[in-house]
A and B are shown apart, each in its own frame.
Chain A
Amino acid sequence: MTEARRIRLTVNGRPREVEVEPRTLLSDVLRHHLGLTGTHVGCEQGSCGSCTILFDGAPARSCLVLAPQAEGAHIETVEGLAGPEAEAIRRAMHEAHALQCGFCTAGIVVSLVSALRDGIGQDEAAEQVLGGHLCRCTGYVNIRKAITAAWKQGANP
């Protein structure tokens, strides 16, 4: 039905409940209903990757998930990322100056932390995983430098 539905989900380890129309996008649930504005909304058609979050541990576009599809799901946003992989990616991105305006950065960090956690190889991360993100100002050279540094460190923490 078009009327609001109650959706229960876990966000960054906390159980949350929202009451939204079924047409509400998960990106908007996070930003507007839960105040988690670290998830950025760029294209709203799945092309840019800025809104990438972890859905049950796997990176996904939050603009391509309807709120009811996230019922019962475990969502991790850029705000919730913690642990050695997150630390490694943050430091490497900082040191390589892997951002300029920063709009795309949140999504890239989410995807790369997930790739590092899952043991995905460096080339795969640089080609395929980064391939899922558009950066329109820094370009990808410094992001790739950050990937190289983080993966080097990831292997020898």
Chain B
Amino acid sequence: MKPAPFDYFDPSSLQEALELLADLSWDASLLAGGQSLIPMLNMRIARPSALIDLRRVPGLDRSDIGADGIRIGAMVRAASLERSVASSDSAPTCLRQALREIGHPQIRNRTTIGGNLAHADPASELPAVFVALGGTMTLVSKDRGERSVPAEEFFQGVFSTAREPDEILVEASLPTYPGRTAFVEVARRPGDFSLVGACVAAVLEELVAREVRIAMCGTGDRPRRLREAEAVIEGAVLSAERLRELADAVSAGVQPRSDLHASDEYRRAVAGVMVRRALERISGVPS
């Protein structure tokens, strides 16, 4: 199908974009890479009366990977970040792994980090990475200026975030994490949305795990930290038995729903397996 008619604006500055959005907010959609929005327009699931295209807004397509963390402009394409991350020593492994799971290469050439995060698909990979590592979203509005929202508060439900209708997500950032990280997921085919994905991070001294972070995608209405499961291995010596215990805690701690692609029981079982597998990769402990 084809999109329904809409008014199209392509402002050339952030200020102009914010003014347009303040005027039109309830009925306008922001267009970034369009890899989720345009399918919705084509299927007429979304029928905004106006589109504000951010492609000409300067400065949103820069990313900075440094020793004090990563700052990613909202219009940075996933493929471009993938290349930056590949050539950096300080980028967390889980980010590199999660980026490769976003759609197909043909999609990653267009899809943007800001669009991916603001869309807040519960099966989406990057939100889980930002929640696990304690990322921050920077939002700007015409009337209230800039504010920072922790990733855990930003994601509020299915396709739902803390972004107000007059706000633009301009940047997402990740602090440095002192330990090792991994992102693993299961999907039916390469490029498909994850059925279940896990982002796991831990600081390991010998085999004692500290600063443990676990966040899942595909197992609920939004990515969440699994703090009870994290506590199972926090300060503990990792062993095959301990990882099995962790997997059980993860399965008990998620509330997935059945859909066309997988049942809730399957997702619950696989959630534990994904976390166990991610920790195996980080620690080298076979289970």
Residues of A within 8 A of B (CB): 1-2, 5, 21-23, 25, 28, 44-46, 49, 52, 55, 58-61, 63-66, 68-69, 111, 127-129, 131-132
Judge whether B6 and A22 touch: CB under 8 Å.
yes
**Smallest CB separation, B42 vs chain A (Å):** 5
CB-CB under 8 A from A63, the residues of chain B are 38, 42
Known: A1-B7, A23-B6. A46 touches B105 (CB 8 A): no
A128 touches B2 (CB 8 A): no
Interface residues of chain A: helix, strand, loop or mixed (majority) = mixed
Sample of 26 A–B contacts (CB below 8 Å): A5-B8, A22-B6, A23-B4, A23-B8, A25-B2, A25-B42, A28-B2, A44-B39, A46-B35, A46-B39, A46-B103, A46-B107, A49-B104, A59-B106, A60-B110, A61-B106, A61-B110, A65-B38, A66-B53, A69-B31, A127-B190, A128-B100, A128-B190, A131-B189, A131-B190, A131-B191
A127 to B: closest C-beta gap in Å: 6
Q: How far is the CA of A129 from the CA of B103 in the complex (A)?
A: 11
Assess whether B109 is interfacial by the CB under 8 Å rule: yes
Interface residue range, chain B: 20 to 34
A54 to B74, CA, bound (A): 23
Total contacts A-B at CB 8 Å: 99
C-alpha spacing A22/B52, complex, angstroms: 11
Chain A nearest CB, measured from B213 CB (Å): 28
- The 0/1 profile, CB within 8 Å of A marked 1, for residues 194-223 of chain B is 000000000000000000000000000000
4 nearest A-B residue pairs (beta carbon): A132-B104, A22-B8, A131-B190, A45-B39
Main secondary structure of the interface of B (DSSP, over half): loop
Partner of A132, one of B2, B3, B100, B105: B105
B231 interface hit (Cβ, 8 Å): no
Check: B5 CB closer than 8 A to any chain A CB.
yes
**Quick check: is B79 within 8 A (CB to CB) of the other chain?**
yes
* CB contact between A65 and one of B5, B7, B110 (< 8 Å): that residue: B110
